[in-house]
Amino acid sequence: MKLENLKTKQLGKNAIYYNEIDSTQSEIWRLIKNNSAQSGTLVMADIQTNGKGTHGRVWHTDEANNIAFSFFMHLNCNVQKLDGITTKIAEIILEIFREKYKINLNIKMPNDIVFKDKKIGGILTETKVTNGTAKYLVVGIGINTQKETFTEDIKDIATSIKKEFNVNVNVREFIAEFCNRFEEEIIKISDI
């Protein structure tokens, strides 16, 4: 599958789409383990049956047209250069919503995207480090763009772009724009 308007050298060039999968993050790690992930590989899905959040929590992606993707970058940099990378990712997401959709969101440190204290999205950043050198960066991003119904346990703490702003987000366009901006940032700190 191709992402339109992609201007990257690596990120998103190999994009794999699933209608339904357990977790895009788990799939990236499986591809790495099987040596079938080139740097920049991106996995996206409409539905995740066991999406991963931070601290072992589940990220619910149970209907189509929400943003759910993970990607892998092969790095070779001092792990300290990755300090603040999750915040940078959140800032890029906020920039895209502000510039393309005139929507202002906030970051709840370190990895949540919120509107009026309700969670709209989250970022899961994982690395593989050997002797202080970051070798892999695996990032999962989930954003409730279309979701309008939330289960009892999260209805008071979660929301979506559609519910709050009545805006339809073009998921693939958003992901391509994210890839374009994020690759520029990662090139500054790592030799990809």
Residue 162: give its domain's CATH number. 3.30.930.10
Task: Round to whole Å and give the CA distance between 84 and 148.
Answer: 31
14-28, 46-60, 118-132, 173-187: least confidently modelled range: 46-60
Residues whose CB falls within 8 Å of the CB of residue 174, separated by 6 or more in sequence, listed in order: 67, 96, 100, 145
Predicted local distance difference test score (pLDDT) of residue 60: 58
Q: Is residue 6 part of a domain?
A: no
pLDDT at 142 over 90: yes
Q: Is residue 4 part of a domain?
A: no
Q: How many domains does the chain have?
A: 1
Q: Is residue 63 part of a domain?
A: yes
Which tokens is 27 given? 């799939």
Encode pLDDT of 19-37 as tens digits: 999 999 999 999 999 999 8
Q: Is residue 5 part of a domain?
A: no
Yes or no: say if 40 and 11 are a contact pair by the CB < 8 Å rule: yes
Q: Is residue 184 part of a domain?
A: yes
Q: Is residue 3 part of a domain?
A: no
Predicted local distance difference test score (pLDDT) of residue 58: 58
Residues whose CB falls within 8 Å of the CB of residue 117, separated by 6 or more in sequence, listed in order: 108
Encode pLDDT of 80-108 as tens digits: 999 999 999 999 999 999 999 999 999 99
This prediction's pTM: 0.92
Task: Round to whole Å and give the CA distance between 45 and 20.
Answer: 6
Yes or no: say if 144 and 120 are a contact pair by the CB < 8 Å rule: yes
Owning domain of residue 136: 15-189
Q: Is residue 8 part of a domain?
A: no
Q: Is residue 26 part of a domain?
A: yes
